[in-house]
Structure 1
Amino acid sequence: MKIPGRVPISIVVITLNAERTLKQALESVAEWADEIVIVDSGSTDATLHIARQFNCRVIYRKFNGFGSQKQYAVNQAKNDWVLVLDADEIVSEQLANEIAALFISDLPICAGYTLPRNLIFLGRVLQHSGQNRQPVLRLFNRRKGHITPVPVHESVQVEGPIGQLSGLLIHYSYGSLHDYVLKMNQYTTLSAEEMALRHKKANIPLQGLRFLFTFLKIYFFKGGLLDGYPGFVWALLSAVYPVIKYSKLQELHDGDEKLKTRPELAFDRL
């Protein structure tokens, strides 16, 4: 289906050195979306040059957590309907047509819509591993919803009915294992800091069991072994992730305990 004119929605993207995938992401929406808003937190690569090629509205904002940054981007949109797109996600042609069809006769009847997302990992689509057609709520009326204000693993919450679309959102999240490790380090730190603020404790003796349970769940019960070598690596790294997260939480707790007994150490943090 050829999309008749511009669809009255705003695409909102947050970026930081996203040149690897940004061009493909913008190409998938530039021809039909009414507006693209990019909130950048200080890119030093070709990200801003790519954004200007697609006539995006670019705004600088210091990063202070994924939830807050994305909500700020949503607030800058001129349209009520927004599609929150990561810089490493591509809207398939089928999904673009489905989104356009919602607006052809009238405004959408739901407050938001989930989109099925597939992950590309180590050059392969994970057909299993708990990542096949994973529904994510990304298209919504910003007058009826918001993004949760958490540092990491944010989500969209709406008041009203939620519909489902079937066209794929394709996620090229990790260009290499090096990229994965960098993101895991960032995300586990943010998660540990958020849990520390909620005074959550790390149960260190359970970490071995947590690792084993997570690996077995993804690799066997969710069929990761059917995804070959990428499925094995995904299950392994996914099992390592919570161990690192809770270990960092324990590290923060130990640091706070040292400050209580030796307050002079606080000067080391200045």
Structure 2
Amino acid sequence: MKIPAKIPVSVVVITLNAERTLKQALASVADWADEIVIVDSGSTDATLHIARKFDSRVIYRKFNGFGAQKQYAVGQAKHDWVLVLDADEIVSEPLANEIIALFAGNPPAFAGYSLPRNLIFLGRVLRYSGQNRQPVLRLFNRREGSFTPVSVHESVRVNGEIGQLSGVLIHYSYGSLHDYVLKMNQYTTLSAEEMASRHKKANIPLQGLRFLFTFLKIYFFKGGLLDGYPGFIWALLSAVYPVIKYSKLQEIQDTEEKPKISPILAYSNN
């Protein structure tokens, strides 16, 4: 599609050491989005260099949770319509064309739009495993919507109807199993802290059932076995995730419930 001019949309991205995928993510929107806003929380790799190559407006902000960080970034945009991307998400050409068409005439008909997202895992698109064309609300009018103020697994809530686009958002979330484990460690910690702040209790006897139920659901009921080896590993790690999350919650609760011992008494011989 020929683009007569850039459309009045601000693309918003939060970053931290995102050099692996940021160039491809920004390249997928740079030709048609009027503005790119990057909110970085202290990258030490080539992230900022890549961002400036695309004439992005770069702002530093200390990270205090995904929901709050993304909402702050949305607030820095100059346009009301924002497309919020993760640094490892790429807008496919069909999706870009759909977004451009939304702004070709009258204003968009909905308060926000849900985009189907496909996950690339171990070098393969997961066609099953519950990850094929998963809808994510990322394009919205910020006057009508905002991010939930949670530390992890944030989402957008809008006041109004939500439209559906068909072009795919491509998610290169994990460059390797090493990347997955690092993210899982970060996310499970944030989730456990979030649950602890809401005084949610861990139920350790249910851990085995959580693991088994999650694995069976993804691998068999959602067709993960049809994704081959990547599908098996995805189901296995996804089943481990809640076990670690609730174990960390239990660890926080155990620490909070331990009696405070005076340093003097702790070293007393009496």
| TM-score calculated relative to the size of structure 1 | 0.97
Residue 55 of structure 1 is matched in structure 2 by 55
Measure, in 2, the Cα distance between the counterparts of 1:35 and 1:107: 18
Measure, in 2, the Cα distance between the counterparts of 1:205 and 1:81: 47
Counting only pairs closer than 5 Å after superposition, residues 223-262 of structure 1 correspond to structure 2 as: 223-258=223-258, 261-262=259-260
User: Cα offset for 1:95?
Assistant: 0.3
Residue 180 of structure 1 is matched in structure 2 by 180
Residue 21 of structure 1 is matched in structure 2 by 21
Residue 268 of structure 1 is matched in structure 2 by none
- The aligned amino acid for 1:158 is V
Residue 160 of structure 1 is matched in structure 2 by 160
Q: How many residues align?
A: 263
Residue 170 of structure 2 is matched in structure 1 by 170
Would you say the 8 A contact 1:2–1:97 is kept in 2?
no
Deviation string 1:140-177 (CA, Å, 9 cap, x unpaired) is 00000000010000000000010000000000000000
- The aligned amino acid for 2:197 is L
Would you say the 8 A contact 1:119–1:171 is kept in 2?
yes
Measure, in 2, the Cα distance between the counterparts of 1:187 and 1:70: 16
User: Cα offset for 1:78?
Assistant: 0.1
Q: Which protein is bigger by CA-based radius of gyration?
A: 2
Deviation string 1:184-224 (CA, Å, 9 cap, x unpaired) is 00000000000000000000000000000000000000000
Would you say the 8 A contact 1:11–1:82 is kept in 2?
yes
Measure, in 2, the Cα distance between the counterparts of 1:92 and 1:86: 14
- The aligned amino acid for 1:251 is E
Structure 2 residue matching 1:24: 3-state secondary structure = helix
Would you say the 8 A contact 1:3–1:97 is kept in 2?
no
Deviation string 1:111-163 (CA, Å, 9 cap, x unpaired) is 00000000000000000000000000000000000000100000000000100
Residue 10 of structure 2 is matched in structure 1 by 10
User: Cα offset for 1:106?
Assistant: 1.3
Deviation string 1:2-35 (CA, Å, 9 cap, x unpaired) is 2221010000000000000000000000000000
Quick one: structure 1 residues 264 and 2, their matched pair in 2 at CA, closer, same or farther if it must change by over 3 Å?
Answer: farther
- Percent sequence identity over aligned pairs: 84
Measure, in 2, the Cα distance between the counterparts of 1:171 and 1:244: 24
Structure 1 residue matching 2:219: 3-state secondary structure = helix
Structure 1 residue matching 2:188: 3-state secondary structure = helix
Residue 220 of structure 2 is matched in structure 1 by 220
5+ unaligned residues in a row in structure 1: which ranges?
266-270
Structure 2 residue matching 1:85: 3-state secondary structure = strand
Residue 37 of structure 1 is matched in structure 2 by 37
- The aligned amino acid for 1:225 is L
User: Cα offset for 1:263?
Assistant: 4.5
Structure 2 residue matching 1:174: 3-state secondary structure = coil
C-alpha root-mean-square deviation of aligned residues, in Å?
A: 0.7
Structure 1 residue matching 2:12: 3-state secondary structure = strand
Quick one: structure 1 residues 209 and 263, their matched pair in 2 at CA, closer, same or farther if it must change by over 3 Å?
Answer: same
- The aligned amino acid for 1:36 is I
Quick one: structure 1 residues 250 and 31, their matched pair in 2 at CA, closer, same or farther if it must change by over 3 Å?
Answer: same
